[in-house]
Amino acid sequence: MKVVIQRVTEASVVINEIEVASIQKGLLVFLGIVDEDRQEDIDWLCNKITNLRIFSDENGVMNNSLKTFDGDVILVSQFTLHASTKKGNRPSYIKAAKPDIAIPLYDSFIKTLQDALDKTIQTGKFGADMKVHLINDGPVTIIIDSKNKA
């Protein structure tokens, strides 16, 4: 399981010209799922996201996490995070989990993150063609792969 986390001053998701999610300060999180992913990957990543100290304190130092900073989250499924570009110029998405595996894990990720933060997590729609708008703050962009815990 892989996430790309972007600290934003604003972000939104539009599907078929309808805005389905919108936040001001917080995190935009893109989530990629593979067949081998399990609940322990979700638990570990949600803990990381929740406690990642990437928001500035009163001295301008990144000391605050979502636990101590009043920020919101948009979670967007993105199978292209597991693209392989080893051969040729057309990315292969063979590693990305198929919907029958990915959707339950995606739903569990949303619930686990909501429970950890005790707030509603806004989302895109799994499998939809989405337009994601964001203003990256910093810029701060962090990539975390649950298979690289050590």
34-54 pLDDT, tens digit per residue, is: 999 999 999 999 999 999 999
**Predicted local confidence at residue 149, as pLDDT:** 81
How buried is 114 (Cβ within 10 angstroms: 0-12 exposed, 13-18 middle, 19+ buried)?
Answer: middle
Domains and CATH numbers, the chain: 2-145 (3.50.80.10)
Q: Is this structure's pTM higher than 0.85?
A: yes
Q: How far is CA 16 from the centre of its chain?
A: 21
State the catalytic residue, choosing from 9, 24, 39, 80: 80
State the catalytic residue, choosing from 78, 112, 122, 123: 78
Residue 63 — pLDDT band, cuts 50, 70, 90?
very high
Exposed e or buried b per residue across 115-135, where buried means at least 16 C-beta atoms within 10 angstroms of its C-beta: ebbeeebbbbebeeebebebe
Is residue 50 among the annotated active site residues? no
Q: What is the per-residue pLDDT across 91-142, written as a single tens digit (0 to 9) for each?
A: 999 999 999 999 999 999 999 999 999 999 999 999 999 999 999 999 999 9
